[in-house]
Structure 1
Amino acid sequence: MTSTEKQDAQHGEFRKFLPDLDTPRFHAIAKNDAYGHAKELLEHHRPPWLYGLYVHWRKLFEEPFKGVTNDGTIRPNLFPIRDEGIPITAIVAAAESITSQLTPSQAAKTTLHIDSPEWRSWSNPEFLLSDKGIRLDTITPALRSSVLALLETTLSPEGYAKAVAAMRINHFLGELVDASKVMNEHSYNFVFFGAPAVERGWGFSFYGHHLCLSVFLYRTQIVVSPWFTGAEPNFVDQGVWKGTRILHVEERLGLCLMQGLSEEEKVKARVFEEMKDGRMEKGRWNHDDQRHLCGAYRDNRVVPYEGIVVATLGDEQKELVRGILGQYLLYLPEKARELKLKDCEDWFGETYFSWIGGYGDEDPFYYRIQSPVVIVEFDHHSGVFLANSEPAKFHIHTLLRTPNAGDYGFALRKQIGGGVEQEYVWEG
């Protein structure tokens, strides 16, 4: 059996965990569209655990934006204004194709102020918790094509292909659990922040189940952060998109990195042996994010460094770290990606690699790479729609944050002016 065949067999394990659709939960989601499904949570508080998390999220949203840090203090002067070679003229033209098609009511919901706190109101569950902008599965095909054309023009070819794959896998999951009205290839919202312009800062958010992208653009510079990408399962084994898979490279490189460490290095890197370890402090694990620390609404979280310093590792392990970071920077066009990777390498002396779980070939795991200029997380999850009660390698969540106020292009926006002179508080 080839490595690819072995991987296909491993990820095909998800079919052992297909849920019983003859239950109230799946009856409810089958009959609802996205808005009816959201009503179940927001008005009827079902499921209770997610409603409780949502209430907590909104409390976090009331906090003025500060940014993720390792110790509570923002480090200044980490993100310079620079030329990253972004084709801004083509991107603006693609964006204006969208604005030219919006109705007045759509425009009111879709073009928000550059400093709107709604930058921060994205989330990765399938529930439509923040109904702003336009939703791709409810608009005209021409307008939907224009939104996707903007994504394709802005992201790298590889990054766009990854985003499309995540959307298709979401569609596949919707078919598996008879929830296609809520989870499909186009069940995503899109919103502008600021007016598209060649010389001024602006951006957009594209978000929905298992794919959330925050994009800021200023002249020829780009920030794609925070972003979230997940899949349950992460492999399509039948249908028109059979063979589609994502997040397997990040998985393989992370495991190779951990397995290649010396025994002493493994002990330093491994902060918890179990995926839900009894030694975890309160708040370290939650039902939605599980081991992730920097998910939706965690814009101001203090995440202390832990694990092993990358600069102390051998050349082979450092190269694996570069490979992992390259995958997490894949949404960026080539020149921007190279510059950002160089930024990350410059901080290897203060870059930490940490691990939770086992590190055998079949073991689920979590890892994080964290420095002053980037945080990336990888986590194998238990089932949300599938019935596996323990973390499995076919359900993956990944995310990237830019700490020290780099998310949403905030650090750059403070430098270029035209806003961000005050902290915004959501007032409900």
Structure 2
Amino acid sequence: MPLAQVGTSDTTQKAVSAANSFLAMLNDVQRAKVNLPLNKTTRSNWSNLPTGARFQSGATERNGLKFGVLTAAEQEAALALVRSTLSPAGYEKVINIVNGDEMLERETAPQRPASTATRFGRAEYYIAILGKPSVSDPWMIQFGGHHLAINVPVAGPANVLTPSHTGSQPTMYTFNGQTIRPLGHENDKAFALMNALSPAQQKQATLAYEVADVVSGPGHDGEVIQPEGVRASGFTTAQRNMLLDLIREWVGIINADTARAKMAEIQDHLADTYFAWSGGTTNGSRAYFRIQGPAVMIEYAPIGTGTDHIHTFYRDPTNDYGAKVIKQ
């Protein structure tokens, strides 16, 4: 389905209204910092790294304004903008990642040397609007911080969610009496799929080397990776459905109309989609996996020697940054 048919004008109108409401709350200096031109440089300035690190783009700060300089009302308006293009489950995942990073800040701050610039937590997440919010012309929403990069290009009724990053550290925490696993579904569904494969399929899926981190993250726009693993053309119907359900954890962060169209495109190319694995096959083991096809690229990687620090990235090889309709 062409990108021009993805999404709805209703979603775009909600996003434009939310963007303008947020901008109206800011002073001139803040607006100039948060509302930047949409171009190749600004759109690619995103990262999985925390504040204080030099990002893969070469920048030392994300686009826009960080939450730490916004009032509570301004923060809520910024989050309303983020929420306007996402699904309820997608927005919940975003908030769970932010809250998890707040837990990390509280845990690490007492032991952190005063000289270090590294910071975690809600105050270190940034909101930016690239281009002028419009129901017809291209523009883009960016929201991100440590372990989160939401990039939503918008053009008329069209909107996409690639490239995007979701990560987690810790991978499980307690918040308001509830146990939260921001990427728990991704983990559990991947292990379920791997264990639903036959021994021969598992052998095909398993990489001959260990993977220390993702290879398709920020700073790797346009790079092509050779597909590896087991091809879904040989999957049973049940295995294909499990693979699609796993992919939906990333695609489904965006609103339902856009996600539905994207999943249909991925399903059309599912026979040419590969599933690769590196690590143990018992849930709870340290394991990397990759899903790669003509219309999707997903990576999931535990960082370090344990399982309490996860990086994941989602890209569309044909449509990162809404390339089909946004010419920059």
Residue 144 of structure 1 corresponds to 75
Tell me how far apart the structure 2 counterparts of residues 153 and 131 of structure 1 sit (CA, whole Å): 21
Tell me how far apart the structure 2 counterparts of residues 155 and 362 of structure 1 sit (CA, whole Å): 29
Tell me how far apart the structure 2 counterparts of residues 241 and 125 of structure 1 sit (CA, whole Å): 28
Report if aligned partners of 1:310, 1:350 keep a CA contact under 8 Å in 2: yes
Residue 310 of structure 1 corresponds to 232
Residue 50 of structure 2 corresponds to 126
Residue 170 of structure 1 corresponds to 101
Aligned pairs for 1:16-415 within 5 A: 79-85=2-8, 86-128=10-52, 129-178=60-109, 182-237=119-174, 240=176, 242-272=178-208, 275=210, 290-382=212-304, 390=305, 392-404=306-318, 406-414=319-327
**SS of match in other structure, 2:119:** coil
Deviation at 1:131, TM superposition (A): 4.1
Report if aligned partners of 1:228, 1:399 keep a CA contact under 8 Å in 2: yes
Residue 55 of structure 2 corresponds to none
**SS of match in other structure, 2:180:** coil
Residue 55 of structure 1 corresponds to none
**SS of match in other structure, 1:305:** coil
Report if aligned partners of 1:191, 1:206 keep a CA contact under 8 Å in 2: yes
Residue type matched to 1:402 in 2?
D
Higher CA-based Rg = 1
**SS of match in other structure, 1:363:** coil
Report if aligned partners of 2:276, 2:290 keep a CA contact under 8 Å in 1: yes
Deviation at 1:98, TM superposition (A): 1.5
Report if aligned partners of 2:222, 2:317 keep a CA contact under 8 Å in 1: no
**SS of match in other structure, 1:166:** helix
Unpaired runs of 5+ residues, structure 2, are 53-59, 113-117
Tell me how far apart the structure 2 counterparts of residues 360 and 131 of structure 1 sit (CA, whole Å): 38
Unpaired runs of 5+ residues, structure 1, are 1-77, 277-289, 383-389, 415-419, 421-428
Deviation at 1:218, TM superposition (A): 1.7
**SS of match in other structure, 1:178:** helix
Return closer, same or farther for 1:355/1:127 CA change in 2, 3 Å cut-off: same
Residue 115 of structure 2 corresponds to none
**SS of match in other structure, 2:162:** strand
Root mean square deviation of aligned Cα: 1.9
Deviation at 1:268, TM superposition (A): 1.0
Tell me how far apart the structure 1 counterparts of residues 79 and 207 of structure 2 sit (CA, whole Å): 40
Residue type matched to 1:153 in 2?
S
Spell out, residue by residue over 1:148-173, the C-alpha distance to the aligned partner (whole angstroms, 9 max, x if none): 11112221111111100100000011
Deviation at 1:116, TM superposition (A): 4.4
Tell me how far apart the structure 2 counterparts of residues 379 and 226 of structure 1 sit (CA, whole Å): 16
Tell me how far apart the structure 2 counterparts of residues 202 and 394 of structure 1 sit (CA, whole Å): 36
TM-score by length of 2: 0.90
Report if aligned partners of 1:171, 1:183 keep a CA contact under 8 Å in 2: yes
Paired residues, what number?
Answer: 314
Return closer, same or farther for 1:198/1:103 CA change in 2, 3 Å cut-off: same
